[in-house]
A and B are shown apart, each in its own frame.
Chain A
Amino acid sequence: MARLIEKTPCEALLPVTCGALSLREVVGDRITSVAPFRGQATKLAAALKKLGLSWPEPNSANAKNGASIVWTGRDQAFLIGADPDSLAGHAALTDQSDGWARIRLEGPGAADVLARLVPVDLRGFEPGQALRSQLGHMMMVLTAPAPGAFEIMVFRSMATTAVHELHHAMKAFAARSAV
């Protein structure tokens, strides 16, 4: 039997561009929630070190060789783009790969676009930082994959609303810039 068809969260929604601003979907990476078990912090740190990563402090993220680990909450981080098997036993590992729409916003004015939807001070927000906040009324994980670029993670089921609201803000920003 043929394998079931796969669909990404933002299929048919992205990419969109607006002037020099672009919004596209980030796909493919495995996402695992990592939540250290009691007394396992040292062992977990050692296991992460082998992946080139370290346990992220609140509001931070680190990356190496295409793998990254992003703080996402109290005693919780998302391992993205890496096999989590070596962490087994040290932390609760939960597959989150299909639960999130990952959307990358970049271009001049990207921060101004987010200022329409995100109630957080993004001055100086740069790679290595991670935020849990809101995108409109949706809860969100925000990172900076590159200077001036933002990656927004929202619930998969909310992808349509997230893309619509971001695109709306992009268009409004472009219209303002043209005045």
Chain B
Amino acid sequence: MRIAGKGLIDRGASVGFRFDGREHVGFAGDTLASALLAGGNRLFGRSFKYHRPRGVMTAGSEEPNALVTVGLGAGAVPNVRATMQEIFPGLEAKSQNRWPSLAFDVMQVNDLMAPFFGAGFYYKTFMWPRAFWERVYEPLIRRAAGLGALSGKHNDEAYEKAFAFCDLLVIGSGPAGLMAALTAARSGADVILAEEDARMGGRLLAEVEEIGGKPAHLWADDVLAELAAMPNVRLMSRTSVTGAYDDGTYGALERVGLHLPKAPAELPRECFWRIVARRAVLATGAHERQIAFPMNDRPGVMTAGAVRAYLNRWGVAGGRRVAIFANNDDAHRTARDLVAAGVEVAALIDTREDAPQPAGYRLIAGGQVTGTRGRLGLREITVATASGEERIEADCLAVSGGWNPALHLTCHMNGRPSWDETLAAFVPKPGMIPGLTACGAAAGVMTTAGALAGGRQAAEAALADLGIEARAIDLPQAENGGARITAFWEVTGAKGRAWLDFANDVTTKDVRLAAQENFRSVEHMKRYTTQGMAPDQGKNSNIAALAVLADATGRGIPETGTTTFRPPYVPVSIAALGAGGQGVGFAPQRFLTSHKASTERGAPMIEAGLWYRPSYFPRPGEKTWRESCDREVMAVREAVGVCDVSTLGKIDIQGKDAARFLDFVYTNTFSTLPVGRVRYGLMLREDGLVLDDGTTARLGENHYLMTTTTAAAGLVMRHLEFVHQAHCPDWDLRMISVTEHWAQFAVAGPKARDLLNSMLLEPLDEAAFPFMGCGEIEIRGVPARLYRISFSGEAGYEIAVPARFGEGLFRDLVARAESMGGAAYGMEALNVLRIEKGFITHAEIHGRTTAFDVGLQGMVSKKKDCIGKGASERPGLSGPEREQLVGLRPVLPAKGFGAGAHLFNKDAKPVSANDQGYVTSVCWSPTLKTHLGLAFLRNGRARQGETVRLVDHLRGTDILCEVVNPVFFDPEGGRARG
């Protein structure tokens, strides 16, 4: 019901929206909650477990009941608090956890079963049969209980992440926050003022009071106008600070486009901020709490402060006839404001005998509300006094059990608040979050004058820490009445369930049951009853619940303590946390210079780390990857193939101690390598297992170029830096990655040399480029580096040019190769070629193998030390008990098998106890017309010629293989030497 002349809404701008398919109208400035309340709607949703009708209870982000789904289709957002959602033209909202409709919900039958559904009911009930839990009980329970659901569709709407930095972060824009921000801003500090509401001003928007001689909300507007005009201030409305982390870092969630009709696609719906603040002021105010009395959950039961907020900010009366139930003076403001606005106040029931004498409304001092009536909304309350029981007609009951400082952020680094007996509330202790000071109601200062003074003081202290001189600023005149309270948690001795946690349907009975069943610790009680585990994270129920627990266990509240408040302060959508990470946004893509040329040829890409490498280059008529791969392999063996190998790590190493350094990090010797030559090297980790392998070229006396595998490029660079900085920092040595600078292509096959010669002014000098030679050449007018190395086993080269020429060179090399009967080849063919030659990759040097295992023990020089050498000589890292690299040929060549298959003795049962080894790499060899595999087999090198049983339990393979030399093709290596 709207009250004429009240509220800060724009009555000139009406806004149409839909709730559960029905048209509604509100005004600009309304939330979904205020607009629906104004239309007389009290029913907003169904409760989590019992499907009880529920209405809006609060006016803030702590709302436990009025959770709705906003939007349609993939972009629908469930569990939006109607108290926070601004209305806009075209807004579509739906109630949740009901079927078929909000007013008639089939599952409300649960409420009749309530005696069986107490805390822990499913632990006790759904025990047998065991297998039913996952398939029957759990899905049933999940369907019966719950909140809103995601659409299940892929949502590609824009979300955002961002970083911000400031001298002072002020969290909350009530009197304390505004005063803190103003003090710091006028003193020249960089200030961020974050407010989760759409409109700044905090409680000043919800109260009838004056600051500095004018209405409080106008004072707030003046301060905000001044702040907005200052270049050192950033005002962030619709921004909830969600967590406090190390070093002054705060998480914050900003609603950017969720309140706008037809927002452009690029506009983020939400932004997750990481704000790094040198100092912070917590001015988050306080949350009003309920009193637990029988059937206190009906639509129409609200907090007294919320009733006041709806009246004063939105011009909405919570009901036609409002009753108030409280244990403190503050709730009397609700009665006064309602009376002043012409709303009928049925009575104020104050639990205290010494309640203040009212003006203009009926007071029942020393009374208690012992029951309520009204199926879909409150109709009547029952009040008990010393003189008896009375029924009072009321469609709204404003309840206040006192206020809890919103101190949650102060606990995010494991600090514990302390109990304040006068306030009957927990208050933060100083220093719980380094650099953060609480003030105002968040610090337990419950008057406006106190909040203004506290805000100024907190800012001044922060400025002093930062070495910024605080400009003197006058405190305006403000309300300074004390808010007396006498703790009162629970109406006892009356019949009926009394809710504590509305969002998770936890009652006082559940808490007492937990205590009775020995879940007496507050953390145990929480988990047993699920109190405090709903989206409101217990903001509305924690203190009352632990008070009931304290009573049930005979302890005081301070001894009982609170549960731990953890981030986030309000629910944060995963879409905001993961903004930018959808699809390919998950990680950067690294593209080769030849990428476009390869995709033009239809090459599918395979991811190698962040790199995209061509898998194979299909030709017309080729139906499977195998056909393309086989052709590419034979092109290399019989003519010439071209492959982009730029992804291999390339590290430029220079300095007088470069040679000495390489001798130290490689197992073999590089100081003896002549300039203009390349050598294969093996690198160990400090624990003696193989780290990586690759070739290193000596470009000059003190200049080497190391290549690493693609997978380990970053790892090896890090290793080298570590070895240099930790083991030999005095050595004259410099290194830098040049992977990105060079585009490098393998040109391999019997016609490789002819191909290169066709692009050079003068033919290659065989003497200058023998096998494992390197040097500089010029190719088509461009200086290049040429390495005569081979990973295919064929005569071949790798040619490197500055990356700007990469695409041009690749296209030319491939065109020439094709004219010579050759081809471009991809990762599949590259893999087949190297398996045929028994060359290892990280499939073999996977982190658990030693040089001995891969048959390269001879490469560990006996003449010098190297990283990992000592450790590699430990017992157990070599010898016949080790699984050693072998080749496998199926007895029937056409029988394929997969990597990951296990090996067993021919007549052994294929069970793990009999395991003899495993397969690491497999291929069909078009060269040898058989399937091949590389494998690690126990004592394998001594077992060549033996037949073993290969079993792959996953793929259902069970075949016999012959153990052979892992170098299947051209074991003498004559082809590569040309």
Q: Which residues of A contact B (CB under 8 A)?
A: 1-9, 33, 35, 37-38, 75-76, 91-92, 94-100, 115-116, 118-121, 123, 136-138, 155-162, 165, 168, 171-172, 174-176, 178-179
Contact = CB atoms under 8 A, between A and B. Distances in A.
Nearest to A121: B165
19 contacts: A1-B781, A4-B782, A6-B808, A7-B806, A35-B736, A37-B655, A76-B734, A91-B734, A92-B652, A94-B654, A94-B736, A95-B741, A98-B741, A98-B743, A98-B803, A157-B590, A178-B264, A179-B260, A179-B263
Given A4-B780, A171-B266, A178-B264, A92 B759 contact: no
Given A136-B580, A175-B266, 13 more contacts: A1-B781, A2-B780, A2-B781, A4-B808, A4-B812, A5-B808, A98-B743, A137-B588, A156-B741, A165-B580, A172-B266, A175-B263, A179-B256
B654 A99 contact: no
Contact of A175 (B161, B267, B656, B759): B267
A165 to B, nearest CB: 7
B267 A158 contact: no
Nearest to A170: B266
B506 interface: no
A37 B590 contact: no
Contacts of B741: 95-99, 156
Among B267, B276, B741, B743, max chain A CB count under 10 A is at B741
Contacts of B585: 165
A158 B584 CA distance: 13
B805 interface: yes
Contacts of A160: 589, 591
B738 interface: yes
Contacts of B807: 5, 7
B264 A116 contact: no
B740 A4 contact: no
A9 B804 CA distance: 7
Nearest to B593: A7
The listed residue with most A CB atoms (<10 A of its CB), out of B256, B276, B590, B611, is B590
Contacts of B802: 95, 97-98
Interface in B742-789: 742-743, 759, 761, 779-782
A4 B802 CA distance: 11
B160 A119 contact: no
Give the one of B737, B740, B743, B782 with max A CB within 10 A.
B740
Nearest to B161: A116
Given A5-B808, A179-B260, A116 B588 contact: no
A98 B611 contact: no
Contacts of A165: 580, 585
B740 A99 contact: yes
Contacts of A157: 590-592, 611, 740
Nearest to B784: A4
Contacts of A171: 266
Interface of B: 158, 160-165, 190, 256-257, 260, 263-264, 266-268, 274, 276, 580, 584-585, 587-593, 610-611, 652, 654-656, 730, 732, 734-743, 759, 761, 779-782, 801-809, 812
Interface centre among A99, A168, A179 (most CB of B within 10 A): A99
A75 B591 contact: no
Contacts of B812: 4
B808 A92 contact: no
A177 to B, nearest CB: 10
B734 A75 contact: yes
A174 B804 contact: no
A38 B263 CA distance: 59
B203 to A, nearest CB: 27
A158 B590 contact: yes
Given A1-B759, A160-B589, A172 B160 contact: yes
B114 to A, nearest CB: 47
A161 B655 contact: no
Nearest to A95: B741
B708 to A, nearest CB: 16
A115 B163 contact: yes
A161 B588 contact: yes
A9 B802 CA distance: 12
B740 A100 contact: yes
A98 B264 contact: no
A136 B267 CA distance: 19
A172 B656 CA distance: 51
A26 to B, nearest CB: 14
A39 B806 CA distance: 38
A33 B580 contact: no
A123 B278 CA distance: 14
A10 to B, nearest CB: 12
Nearest to A96: B741
A94 B704 CA distance: 11
Contacts of B165: 121, 123
A97 B738 CA distance: 10
B588 A138 contact: yes
A88 B53 CA distance: 82
B593 A155 contact: no
A75 B732 CA distance: 12
B591 A8 contact: no
B588 A176 contact: no
Contacts of A98: 740-743, 802-804
B782 A92 contact: no
A3 B161 contact: no
A119 B163 contact: yes
A94 B652 CA distance: 7
A158 B589 contact: yes
A159 B740 CA distance: 11
Contacts of B779: 4
B276 A8 contact: no
Contact of A156 (B256, B780, B803, B805): B803
A15 B68 CA distance: 44
Nearest to A37: B732
A176 B734 contact: no
Contacts of B761: 1
B590 A176 contact: no
B579 to A, nearest CB: 9
The 7 closest A-B pairs by CB, nearest first: A3-B781, A99-B740, A92-B734, A92-B654, A5-B808, A99-B741, A157-B590
B160 to A, nearest CB: 6
Contacts of A76: 734, 736
Contacts of A94: 652, 654, 736, 738
A95 B783 CA distance: 13
B162 A116 contact: yes
Contact of B163 (A118, A137, A158): A118
Given A6-B805, A99-B740, A156-B740, A176 B781 contact: no
Nearest to A1: B780
A100 B161 CA distance: 26
Question: By CB atoms of chain B within 10 A, which of A38, A165, A172 has the most?
Answer: A172
B164 A115 contact: yes
A8 B781 contact: no
Contacts of B268: 172, 175-176
A115 B802 CA distance: 33
Nearest to B160: A172
Contacts of A100: 740
A1 B264 CA distance: 52
Contacts of B740: 98-100, 155-157
A119 B739 CA distance: 26
A37 B804 contact: no
Contacts of A116: 160-163
B655 A92 contact: yes
Contacts of A2: 780-781
A1 B812 CA distance: 12
Contacts of A156: 740-741, 803
A16 to B, nearest CB: 13
Most buried by B among A116, A162, A178: A116
B586 to A, nearest CB: 9
Contacts of B742: 98
A98 B807 CA distance: 13
